[in-house]
Amino acid sequence: MGVVSCDGSAPLVSRGWLANARFGATFGTTFASLRFATDDGRKADAELAHRMTTAFLEWRPIRRLSLSVGLGALVGGRVSIDWPTGVERGELLPGPLGTASVSYLVANEGKVAPFVLVGGQLGVGGERLRLDGAAAAERFTAFDVRVSATIGKTFAKRLRPYLSVRAFGGPVLLGERAVGSDRYHLQVAAGLAVVMPRGVDVFGEIAPGPERAIALGVGFAPGR
């Protein structure tokens, strides 16, 4: 969350790598529309909903640049796949999630002008899909590469609303029988970061589409 910066209070740490670090956690749910294809040419549209939680470490080697890694879990969800021969529905079992991201502050905000951030993220998540009524489960692995642009403004020194546009892509592997991807490759989101004293911040975000999502999080920066 590169939209969070100094709130003007005295930092807890002023030297060392901790002075430029931020720790936190996010919690959210994503709703996606996918399209799968098999080797023999069959295609199917699918709807997916899954929940996730991630702990992250963010570090700023220079003022405008932010690097972040995250490790967490996909904690379950549902999938519905509409094959030509019928609909498959099933449960997504929990699995690991990893992310790595970078953001760069293109423009500082002024009295009137907003701040502008650009960024990129890599992610991979591994779940297992157990179809309704089945005893066994198959691998359900998703790879995600996305780029983003964010614009926002600070009000009352602590309230920081923002808008983000994200374009993304990457394969979704349904066991060994099909490969899919998102149908739209686009997400538009609005969020609010609240910068609190002593390096603490909280944030929330909603993305109405095309990829829909809801996310909440908390962060702590001892050097802020």
Listed in sequence order, the residues at least 6 apart from 126 whose beta carbon sits closer than 8 Å to its beta carbon are 74, 95, 96, 97, 139, 140, 141
Q: What is the pLDDT along the chain (224 residues), one digit of tens a residue?
A: 557 654 444 556 556 778 899 999 999 999 999 999 999 989 999 999 999 999 999 999 998 999 999 999 999 999 999 999 999 999 999 999 999 999 999 999 998 999 999 999 999 999 999 999 999 999 999 999 999 999 999 999 899 999 999 999 999 999 999 999 999 999 999 999 999 988 999 999 999 989 999 999 999 998 87
Q: Rounded CA gap, 93 and 126, in Å?
A: 9
Beta-carbon contacts of 133 under 8 Å, excluding residues fewer than 6 positions away, are none
Domain ranges of the chain: 17-220
- What DSSP letter does each residue of 64-128 carry, written as one string? TEEEEEEEEEEEEEEEEEEETTEEEEEEEEPEEEEEEEEEEEEE---SSSPEEEEEEEEEEEEEE
Q: Side chain identity at 55, as an amino acid letter?
A: A
Cα(118)–Cα(101) distance, integer angstroms: 11
CATH homologous superfamily, domain 17-220 = OMPT-like (2.40.128.90)
Backbone angles phi, psi at 199, to 5 degrees: 80, 5
Chain position carrying tokens 């967490």:
72
The pLDDT value recorded for residue 2 is: 59
Helix, strand or coil, per DSSP, at residue 41: coil
